[in-house]
Amino acid sequence: MVRGPFIPRNWMGACETFEEADWVLVGLPYDGTTSFRPGTRFGPEAIRGASWGLETYSPLQDADLDGTPYFDAGELEFPLGNRDAILTMIRENARDVVQAGKRWLGLGGEHLVTFPVIEAYVEKYPDLAILHFDAHADLRDDYLGEKLSHATVLRRCVDLVGADSLVQLGIRSGPQEEFAWMRKNGTLLETREDLPKALARLEGRPVFLTIDLDVLDPSIMSGTGTPEPGGMSFSTFVEWLMEFRHLNFVGADVVELSPHYDPSGVSTVVAAKVVREVMLLGRKQNQQTAQAAKAAAGTTA
Amino acid sequence: MVRGPFIPRNWMGACETFEEADWVLVGLPYDGTTSFRPGTRFGPEAIRGASWGLETYSPLQDADLDGTPYFDAGELEFPLGNRDAILTMIRENARDVVQAGKRWLGLGGEHLVTFPVIEAYVEKYPDLAILHFDAHADLRDDYLGEKLSHATVLRRCVDLVGADSLVQLGIRSGPQEEFAWMRKNGTLLETREDLPKALARLEGRPVFLTIDLDVLDPSIMSGTGTPEPGGMSFSTFVEWLMEFRHLNFVGADVVELSPHYDPSGVSTVVAAKVVREVMLLGRKQNQQTAQAAKAAAGTTA
Amino acid sequence: MVRGPFIPRNWMGACETFEEADWVLVGLPYDGTTSFRPGTRFGPEAIRGASWGLETYSPLQDADLDGTPYFDAGELEFPLGNRDAILTMIRENARDVVQAGKRWLGLGGEHLVTFPVIEAYVEKYPDLAILHFDAHADLRDDYLGEKLSHATVLRRCVDLVGADSLVQLGIRSGPQEEFAWMRKNGTLLETREDLPKALARLEGRPVFLTIDLDVLDPSIMSGTGTPEPGGMSFSTFVEWLMEFRHLNFVGADVVELSPHYDPSGVSTVVAAKVVREVMLLGRKQNQQTAQAAKAAAGTTA
Amino acid sequence: MVRGPFIPRNWMGACETFEEADWVLVGLPYDGTTSFRPGTRFGPEAIRGASWGLETYSPLQDADLDGTPYFDAGELEFPLGNRDAILTMIRENARDVVQAGKRWLGLGGEHLVTFPVIEAYVEKYPDLAILHFDAHADLRDDYLGEKLSHATVLRRCVDLVGADSLVQLGIRSGPQEEFAWMRKNGTLLETREDLPKALARLEGRPVFLTIDLDVLDPSIMSGTGTPEPGGMSFSTFVEWLMEFRHLNFVGADVVELSPHYDPSGVSTVVAAKVVREVMLLGRKQNQQTAQAAKAAAGTTA
Amino acid sequence: MVRGPFIPRNWMGACETFEEADWVLVGLPYDGTTSFRPGTRFGPEAIRGASWGLETYSPLQDADLDGTPYFDAGELEFPLGNRDAILTMIRENARDVVQAGKRWLGLGGEHLVTFPVIEAYVEKYPDLAILHFDAHADLRDDYLGEKLSHATVLRRCVDLVGADSLVQLGIRSGPQEEFAWMRKNGTLLETREDLPKALARLEGRPVFLTIDLDVLDPSIMSGTGTPEPGGMSFSTFVEWLMEFRHLNFVGADVVELSPHYDPSGVSTVVAAKVVREVMLLGRKQNQQTAQAAKAAAGTTA
Amino acid sequence: MVRGPFIPRNWMGACETFEEADWVLVGLPYDGTTSFRPGTRFGPEAIRGASWGLETYSPLQDADLDGTPYFDAGELEFPLGNRDAILTMIRENARDVVQAGKRWLGLGGEHLVTFPVIEAYVEKYPDLAILHFDAHADLRDDYLGEKLSHATVLRRCVDLVGADSLVQLGIRSGPQEEFAWMRKNGTLLETREDLPKALARLEGRPVFLTIDLDVLDPSIMSGTGTPEPGGMSFSTFVEWLMEFRHLNFVGADVVELSPHYDPSGVSTVVAAKVVREVMLLGRKQNQQTAQAAKAAAGTTA
């Protein structure tokens, strides 16, 4: 043997075994239906690398990953170009995680990777609700004649959970029909006044959190396939996330990082920090410091 | 023949003929008087390419390009390095458009390309007013002894329309004299309280809208020659634009994109989206959805 | 109308109509089976743009595009992610071109786009031979269980034309089996001594020329999905090409440019120059200048 | 001789001699203890280059560099890799500046370069206070066993001036212990309500201003070693800075620009503009234009 | 558990255990004495990632990694900035490998990482010789007063093995004194006529092969700290390497990849391919294909 | 004063005064007639920065800058966009240098900057000859109707010195007419057999050496406006240069570096090394090492 010490290859701070984990991180390097700029296949590996620049402590939530065991399962190795086999493979792995009573944390890859996970979740949680951050509604019924693509993925999820189990934030681009659909079905959380209604959809139910990183403004997330100006700053995003932190999140994913398009590496750092904040959701907050955390989130920044 | 189908080479959604158009897009690949970083000559082609990633529908304005016929005339082919011949060529083409009762939409190129267009416009509209978004006032009387350059262009336009026909937003860099001039002439719209006064200058008159993209913060518009920190976010820019949407815009241009300086491509996407919003100004808004549109512009983002 | 003049959007110097053309350029923006770095979908548009920096005259061949009519048909608009429909669309368009007695010049896109074109060619030319420049043999019988991919494309072509109708240059990477196959079937032109044997396979027959740009060394062609060091310099490539210039080329393609990976833009310029040289193959050389051209190709460079 | 004119190599507008200067700019190209992405050694030269794109007039402060003599001393030439000798060299140069009654303006380089300067300052100003903008507290007592590094630099400064002489803004990343320390010692200015308390620490005392540029959001400052999303926009940063402009600043530094990580060059422009604003702090404001300046800082942007 | 399959995180094709290995790959992410452009700390991880794009078969050597067991030990985790402790850690790990009868394959990092490995090797092989590919001689006796740096590393190795145990290729930059030293000591292999003399130094002895990747021309290896034009092409490098393939290589390293400086990723691919060729040195060649392999190395390329 | 030591801002190793100099380096940041990609205005400053990574010793020529006094005059500050005033300013500065008996070494900037220098030279040296390395002949009589541009510059020089005073190497792109002109006038050195005839034109006369860096292959010089594949490697370029080293060079320039297009920085390093080799031309070679130098130029590389 060689004595080392060696730099671990897992996520910074990940636990040793699947069994002890609460969250299970699974890389999903798939970008097969991407219509504009491909490259989200490189997302999971990039995020893992950037995890080593993170602190385990989040001043935003005044909580520390140290008390949150998570396992880094690695990246799935997909049969190239075979969309249906890939979706099956994701569904089966997600089922392993869900049935073991753990929380899935998928790292995309394009947004289509969310659908087979929802399939696995509704088997266990028939009353699943979905909290969806995105620039695009992804609600087309089909896209260029195709039922399964990044542009239809939330519509397919709605087929499984129903439109009244969906809450969407940040949507700012799409055809007129999608906006009409969202208004008709009340899925779009548009202003802070809509928050109580949105929470009413989600509270008391198992919630899956799906974050398309292009919900963030391209000033901070240029490394994505279809950047949409007018998005949330990182601080605004976190403030919204905090409004939901008391919910019962049973799984999550963070998708659409395309790291090569941001040569500064900032997008990848942002993605890694989003993952950290997601894993800390629901952690009990240190009461005496709650005020300071709130301040850090919203005041000098 | 070959059967295709082929990807069109025009702007996404452009109409077939000049005759049916309301707006006429003209590329103006000129950067001959640029003092810092050249490259706006590559702007028009980049914007056209990015147009294909846009939706035709703007949730911000709840309006759709489908009802706004616009013709993509292409990029003018300039005699290299001959500034005066280039300005003449622009003026003559602008006159064609204006005299045909259509609206010019110039795609720069550096800001100097606005001047010959204003010359063509005042021939038809002697009472023309100008709404100007920019980081720089461009009001020098001369620049290094030169009367016609990107740094003097608005001053030359003022020579034609008068200082009281000008409204300027976003100006945040320049010599002390330019700020003094703006204050003396009341051209600078500084706070929301100044809005009524600014609108009073513009309402009831034909208005030309000239947008130097560096009015945006370099966080979202790094692809420009002289980035100036402290600019508007995309959302703030759009909010300001909406304050003027009821005006009678008879022409416009969007200038100073230098796409090579932003390897992420975000600046080009932003520029294309700005062009879309400009073409939708004045479109009648779908009343039942006006509230949602307002929310989209200002709340979750 | 606007008077212009406008910069043409076709390939530099292309003729006006399909009918008058000898070569027909067709863009094939497909990268669906790419295993490593995607992005060849951006190749055709990039090459067209770079064509405007080319001279029409090639000192290497002492020949000028002025006497070579070629038509720029544009880029096919593919149904996203549907490989089989895409291949069908290419085959049908290629058939149009071949049956009209013209020469196809496909601009990739990944190498799989060659296969449907060969299908169209063998219908008209049952004795078709193929001259293949590439870093990779692309001769796998299947790849990850898949019969149709960038890694199997030449094997599929061999199914149509037979192994003794194939000549390959530049191959320098692949599994041991592919090298064994090439040696067994005598397809690999390894040294200049092999040239007569290779020419014997091709002379007197209709020849299709397929150039995977990664045959060039990544020093000059970094903008490709799977760069392989140890390739040809541009000069060496052209020298090899000249050995075959007397052949009867009935069609060609130039594939695997992935322009975003080369921020200097050099790879795209190289690709455009390769296309120019291909279109000039077989043009009658100006006798009095032949010596100078030969010198230019091989001496001071 | 050659007649020129030649472009000066100093900072734009710098005065000719040390003697006439108020501020003395010193480049400190050191990044020896950087743990993540190195490259701040290239910072000082980049900032000097960008200075030539600046105006001398700041509309934010309605003040002009013309009345602020500053001398560009150049970049120190460090003995490579010898941290202790480097710190000594900085301390001695800083002592020269301080003892001559001038104001040091260090251009980093990593943050460790602040410590020897503070050593030189406390010799002359035993009651020195420190105003600290940063994303990271830099308050570890040691880092990987090391007492002197970029992660401990403010703690070492506190050893010299005491915790109650420190005010910190923008801190948003670090281990839980650092946040506890800041709360215990009251160094962290979290909300605007804390401002009076912070000012009470600083008013009436000589103040050293140290700005780690990663206090800015990576959307505007991607060119830094450890980008931290959730930071200040440029406008917010300047607003905070203005709250302190009446203080008695006896020296300053601007550190942690790593220009190669931002290929757009925006980070470097931002850094140069920060330096300009720092040099203008305390300049008497032109009364008649104070209102316009305030508007420019906070309203349309 | 989750079922996978997962993408391995080791080098492509690495064996499972240290015990079964012939070569042991160890990442050495150190760039502490780099004088020009830092960043080789990112080299080892980049090379591992690129290994997945390689074939296991080398047509150049007609040999396959399948019969060459190698273990990927990972990257050493260094105490930041403490050069001496880092060198000790490398020496101890190298000693583990050498004493276990295995071959060390270090992945740099800067060239200084070679020295402690040579210390470990001479303990076991007192008659060790060194074959050195580099653009720079690295033979200074000290550099800025420092005995241990990237610029002195081969001189320190010579202190251990003697000048007549060193053979150097590709050296093309340095002060006049280094060239004088090399000529006096006969270490520099300048022309093919010198080859017999160089081989005489190495044959029959245990040889350590150290490759500074900047021996390659920057056209193919731009991702390095001090690029030196006029270097070897990849093909020339491999041809030289083949002249030594019959030697008894007991260890090797490949250093000075700085991947961020080559945004095309080509340098990293080249580095990975160099590592593959090094591991195949001395593998018995398939006789019937030897001729083809020779041709592939030197003819069409 | 501050004690320093400070990094000099001149070229590495430059002498203190104009009077003691042999060569005088003058930066010429002009790119006003560039037709494709602008940016050579950034060339001179980039080369000066890269000079600090050079050794003063050239093994290629076995000569050292230590015995070659050269003065770094700085960069001329041009009146923006006024081509004729710029050319006048260059001519006057060149006249200062020439009349003082010193050698001009212009650093471009675009190639047009050579013309006014030749004007100044022919005043003093009526029998001036020109040695011209370039990818393009630059021999058009006019370009888009313009007599003075980068595409006509050598033709304008020929107007002054006559066609039989010109020798050109590396030309590989241009319209048919330029190649015909070169053949008619015997200016193009095509093969090594033409060398005696070329030398006969130059020997015994004062020679001005003008090097357009695009004579180099874009693999090593991607940072230029119009990259032309098929150029010289750095080694081949130097070999050609050595054939002329005995000539009486009275001045030189090195033009067309556009550094932003090569993010790896290699092009800039190459340009700086070319400048070093030019300044060493004609230095007396150390006889005992001449053989080694020759080997270094042509054998292992």
| d(CA D131, nearest CA chain A) in Å | 15
pLDDT at res. C298 = 45
> How far is the C-alpha of F145 from the C-alpha of F141, rounded, in Å?
9
Mean pLDDT value across residues D141-159: 91
pLDDT at res. F111 = 97
> How far is the C-alpha of D60 from the C-alpha of B230, rounded, in Å?
10
Which structure tokens are listed for C278?
A: 């291909």
Mean pLDDT value across residues B106-135: 97
> How far is the C-alpha of A202 from the C-alpha of A281, rounded, in Å?
15
Number of domains in chain A: 1
pLDDT at res. D221 = 98
| d(CA C102, nearest CA chain E) in Å | 31
Tell me which chain C residue has its CA closest to the CA of residue A148: C81
Size of interface A-C (CB pairs under 8 A): 39
pLDDT tops 80 at residue D108: yes
Rounded (5°) CA angle A177-A129-A196: 80
> How far is the C-alpha of D254 from the C-alpha of D209, rounded, in Å?
9
pLDDT at res. E8 = 81
pLDDT tops 50 at residue A289: no
DSSP C178: H
Mean pLDDT value across residues F259-275: 96
In a domain, B269, yes or no: yes
* Structure confidence at residue A67 as a pLDDT band (50, 70, 90): confident
C-alpha distances out from residue D184 to A61, D176, D195, Å:
19, 12, 17
Single-letter code of the amino acid located at F93: N
Cβ contact, residue pair B82, F39, below 8 Å: no
3-state secondary structure chain D: CCCCCECCCCCCCCCCCCCCCCEEEEEECCCCCCCCCCCHHHHHHHHHHHHCCCCCEECCCCEEHHHCCEEEEEEECCCCCCHHHHHHHHHHHHHHHHHCCCEEEEEECCHHHHHHHHHHHHHHCCCCEEEEECCECCCCCCECCECCCCCCHHHHHHHHHCHHHEEEECCCECCHHHHHHHHHHCCEECCHHHHHHHHHHHCCCEEEEEEEHHHECCCCCCCCCCCCCCCECHHHHHHHHHHCCCCEEEEEEEECCCHHHCCCCHHHHHHHHHHHHHHHCCCCCCHHHHHHHHHHHHCCC
Encode pLDDT of C185-217 as tens digits.
Answer: 999 999 999 999 999 999 999 999 999 999 999
Mean pLDDT value across residues D49-78: 92
Chain C residues within 8 A of E269 when measuring between CB atoms: 218, 227-229
Query: Which of D6-10, D277-281, E285-289, F269-273 has the least mean pLDDT?
Result: E285-289
> How far is the C-alpha of E237 from the C-alpha of E216, rounded, in Å?
7
pLDDT tops 50 at residue A293: no
Reduced to 3 states, what is the DSSP secondary structure of residue C299?
coil
pLDDT tops 60 at residue D242: yes
CATH number for E138: 3.40.800.10
| d(CA D29, nearest CA chain A) in Å | 21
* Structure confidence at residue F284 as a pLDDT band (50, 70, 90): low
> How far is the C-alpha of D61 from the C-alpha of D280, rounded, in Å?
8
In a domain, E216, yes or no: yes
Cβ contact, residue pair D77, F9, below 8 Å: no
The values of phi and psi at residue E31, to 5°, are -140, 35
Residues C143, C149, C152, C155: is their CA dihedral positive or negative?
Answer: positive
pLDDT at res. A90 = 97
Tell me which chain A residue has its CA closest to the CA of residue C81: A33
- Number of helices (H) and strands (E) in chain B: give both, helices first: 9, 9
* Structure confidence at residue C122 as a pLDDT band (50, 70, 90): very high
**Residue labelled with tokens 């139910």:** A205
* Structure confidence at residue B285 as a pLDDT band (50, 70, 90): very low
By percentage, how much of chain C surpasses pLDDT 70? 93
Mean pLDDT value across residues F278-292: 62
pLDDT at res. B6 = 86
Q: Are strands A206-212 and C70-75 parallel, antiparallel or unpaired?
A: unpaired
pLDDT at res. A180 = 96
- Number of helices (H) and strands (E) in chain E: give both, helices first: 9, 10
Alpha-carbon dihedral C170, C172, C178, C183, rounded to 10 degrees: 60
pLDDT tops 60 at residue C278: yes
Query: Which of A133-137, C49-53, F92-96 has the least mean pLDDT?
Result: C49-53
Ramachandran class of A135: left when φ > 0, alpha when ψ lies in -120 to 50, beta otherwise: alpha
Nearest to A300 among D219, D226, D240 (CB): D240
The answer to whether ipTM exceeds 0.85 is yes
Encode pLDDT of B216-247 as tens digits.
Answer: 999 999 999 999 999 999 999 999 999 999 99
Mean pLDDT value across residues E81-100: 93
| d(CA C94, nearest CA chain B) in Å | 8
Cβ contact, residue pair C77, B6, below 8 Å: yes
Chain C residues within 8 A of E55 when measuring between CB atoms: 173-175
Could you tell me how many residues make up chain E?
A: 301
Chain B residues within 8 A of F31 when measuring between CB atoms: 38
Q: What is the DSSP string of E185-205?
A: HT-EE-SGGGHHHHHHHHTTS
Single-letter code of the amino acid located at E94: A
* Structure confidence at residue B297 as a pLDDT band (50, 70, 90): very low
Chain E residues within 8 A of C227 when measuring between CB atoms: 264-266, 269
Could you tell me how many residues make up chain A?
A: 301
* Mean pLDDT, chain E, integer: 91
pLDDT at res. C10 = 85
Q: Is the peptide bond before F5 cis (omega within 30 degrees of 0)?
A: yes
Encode pLDDT of D153-173 as tens digits.
Answer: 999 999 999 999 999 999 999
pLDDT tops 60 at residue D30: yes
> How far is the C-alpha of C170 from the C-alpha of C155, rounded, in Å?
17
Element holding F284 (H helix, E strand): none
Reduced to 3 states, what is the DSSP secondary structure of residue E219?
coil
Nearest Cα to Cα of residue F26 among F47, F55, F5: F47
**Residue labelled with tokens 């976190």:** A238
In a domain, D202, yes or no: yes
pLDDT tops 80 at residue C94: yes
Chain D residues within 8 A of F24 when measuring between CB atoms: 2
Chain A residues within 8 A of B265 when measuring between CB atoms: 37, 222, 227, 261
DSSP E17: -
Cβ contact, residue pair A6, E263, below 8 Å: no
Test the F interface: residue of C51, C239, C266, C274 with most F CBs within 10 Å? C266
Element holding E216 (H helix, E strand): none
Q: Are strands A57-58 and E103-108 parallel, antiparallel or unpaired?
A: unpaired
**Residue labelled with tokens 């605007």:** D192
Chain A residues within 8 A of B234 when measuring between CB atoms: 217, 229-230
In a domain, A229, yes or no: yes
3-state secondary structure B36-66: CCCCHHHHHHHHHHHHCCCCCEECCCCEEHH
Q: Domain residues for E47?
A: 23-295
By percentage, how much of chain B surpasses pLDDT 70? 94
In a domain, B231, yes or no: yes
pLDDT tops 50 at residue D35: yes
Mean pLDDT value across residues A242-251: 96
Contact criterion met (CB below 8 Å) for B139 and B158: yes
Element holding B68 (H helix, E strand): none
* Structure confidence at residue C300 as a pLDDT band (50, 70, 90): low
* Structure confidence at residue C82 as a pLDDT band (50, 70, 90): confident
Nearest Cα to Cα of residue B259 among B44, B95, B31: B44
| d(CA D75, nearest CA chain F) in Å | 5
Residues F250, F256, F257, F262: is their CA dihedral positive or negative?
Answer: negative
pLDDT tops 50 at residue B25: yes
Nearest Cα to Cα of residue E22 among E96, E105, E91: E105
| d(CA E212, nearest CA chain F) in Å | 15
Residues 6+ apart with CB under 8 A from B105: B23, B24, B25, B26, B70, B251, B252, B253, B254, B275, B278, B279
Instruction: Give strand pairing partners of B208.
Output: B130, B251
Mean pLDDT value across residues D46-60: 92
Angle between helix axes B83-99 and B114-124 (nearest 10 degrees) is 40
Nearest Cα to Cα of residue D169 among D142, D207, D136: D136
pLDDT at res. D300 = 55
Q: What is the DSSP string of C59-82?
A: TTTTEEGGGS-EEEEEEB-PPTT-
pLDDT at res. C146 = 82
**How many beta carbons lie within 10 A of that of residue B222, not counting itself?**
30
**How many beta carbons lie within 10 A of that of residue D142, not counting itself?**
12
Which chain D residues have any C-beta within 8 angstroms of a chain E C-beta?
31-33, 35, 38-39, 41, 79-83, 143-146, 149, 260
Cβ contact, residue pair A263, B263, below 8 Å: yes
* Structure confidence at residue B300 as a pLDDT band (50, 70, 90): low
Encode pLDDT of E114-134 as tens digits.
Answer: 999 999 999 999 999 999 999
pLDDT at res. E290 = 44
Contact criterion met (CB below 8 Å) for B72 and B11: yes
Cβ contact, residue pair E144, D38, below 8 Å: no
> How far is the C-alpha of D299 from the C-alpha of D292, rounded, in Å?
10
> How far is the C-alpha of D108 from the C-alpha of A18, rounded, in Å?
45
pLDDT at res. D284 = 52
Chain B residues within 8 A of A190 when measuring between CB atoms: 292, 295-296, 299-300
Cβ contact, residue pair B7, C263, below 8 Å: no
Cβ contact, residue pair C59, F261, below 8 Å: no
pLDDT tops 50 at residue B12: yes
pLDDT tops 70 at residue B146: yes
Which structure tokens are listed for B231?
A: 């600019």
Q: Is the peptide bond before B126 cis (omega within 30 degrees of 0)?
A: no
Q: Are strands D63-64 and D57-58 parallel, antiparallel or unpaired?
A: antiparallel
> How far is the C-alpha of F265 from the C-alpha of C144, rounded, in Å?
40
* Structure confidence at residue D268 as a pLDDT band (50, 70, 90): very high
Contact criterion met (CB below 8 Å) for D195 and D216: no
In a domain, D8, yes or no: no
In a domain, E96, yes or no: yes
Reduced to 3 states, what is the DSSP secondary structure of residue C87?
helix
Secondary structure percentages of chain F, helix, strand, coil, to 5: 40, 20, 40
Chain F residues within 8 A of E227 when measuring between CB atoms: 264-266, 269
pLDDT at res. B293 = 47
Element holding F110 (H helix, E strand): none
* Structure confidence at residue E213 as a pLDDT band (50, 70, 90): very high
Mean pLDDT value across residues F158-166: 97
pLDDT tops 60 at residue B284: no
Angle between helix axes E153-161 and E114-124 (nearest 10 degrees) is 10
Using a 10 angstrom Cβ sphere, with 0-12 exposed, 13-18 middle and 19 or more buried, the burial of residue F41 is: buried
pLDDT tops 90 at residue C7: no
Q: What is the DSSP string of E134-154?
A: -SB----S-BTTBSSSTTTHH
Nearest to E296 among C172, C229, C232 (CB): C172
Burial A182-219 (b: 16+ CB within 10 A, else e): beeebbbbbeeebeeebbebbeeebbbbbbbbbbbbbb
pLDDT at res. B276 = 97
Q: Is the model more confident about D293 or about E173? A: E173
Mean pLDDT value across residues C109-117: 97
> How far is the C-alpha of F231 from the C-alpha of F196, rounded, in Å?
22
pLDDT tops 80 at residue A144: no
Encode pLDDT of A159-201 as tens digits.
Answer: 999 999 999 999 999 999 999 999 999 999 999 999 999 999 9
In a domain, C266, yes or no: yes
Reported pTM: 0.93
pLDDT at res. B3 = 86
pLDDT at res. A292 = 47
Chain B residues within 8 A of C79 when measuring between CB atoms: none
